[in-house]
Amino acid sequence: MINRDELVQIGHFKKPHGIKGEITFSFTYATAGSKRYPQMTDVIAGSTRNPLFFICEIDGIFVPFRVEDYRLISNSTAYVQLSNINSDQKARFLAHKEVFFLKEDINEDIENDSFSWNYFIDFTLIDEQLGKIGRIIDLDETTINTLFIVERENVIAGLTRNPLINGEILIPAVDEFILQIDENKKELTVTLPEGLVDRN
């Protein structure tokens, strides 16, 4: 039997894709204790196990599903075909479930490859609901939690001259907020708590 302390979460399933059992997988893995966000292919292709298994919790039991095939859609999304999941009805059963790897299957070289929050300076910050927030221009490390200093998008674009609108806002640099990192486009997509950023 697989125990929870043997596992590391690498993402979650979303909705089925098509009618043949493919399911959308969202990759959210970050190495514990670091600020390293490897590409999905780094973790999956770097797995020490062959064949590859994704693990989901079903009725309190961690169940391995053999990965038959996967197709990358972006740096953090793929369509995955699992063994014995051959219809959209079966795939729907796994929708929104967390996806785990055995810790022993994570390549140690990936775990040790880390960088700091400074890496995200000059990235565009995008909220899942609000859209483009602005550009990360610096960090504020004077508090317990590191903060991104973000130059607001509407200020950059000259869309506001309201003196009450601060041109810079502070956003907590928190692993749990991050949905996707696109290193090629230099975009950081997050889901921020409601009210943290006003819509002006």
Give the pLDDT confidence of 79-109 residue by residue, as tens digits. 999 999 999 999 999 999 999 988 887 765 5
Residue 145: per-residue pLDDT: 79
Long-range contacts of 130-136 (CB under 8 A, 24+ apart): 130/192, 130/197, 130/199, 133/169, 133/171, 133/197, 134/169, 136/188
Any idea where the domains of the chain sit in the sequence? Answer: 4-111, 117-190
**What does the mean pLDDT of the chain come to?**
79
- Quickly state the pLDDT bin for 167 (edges 50, 70, 90): confident
Q: Given a cut of 90, is residue 21 above it in pLDDT?
A: yes
Residue 41: per-residue pLDDT: 60
CATH of domain 117-190: 2.30.30.240
- Topology of the domain comprising 4-111: Elongation Factor Tu (Ef-tu); domain 3 (2.40.30)
Residue 196: per-residue pLDDT: 82
Token digits for 164?
């009450």
Residue 194: per-residue pLDDT: 83
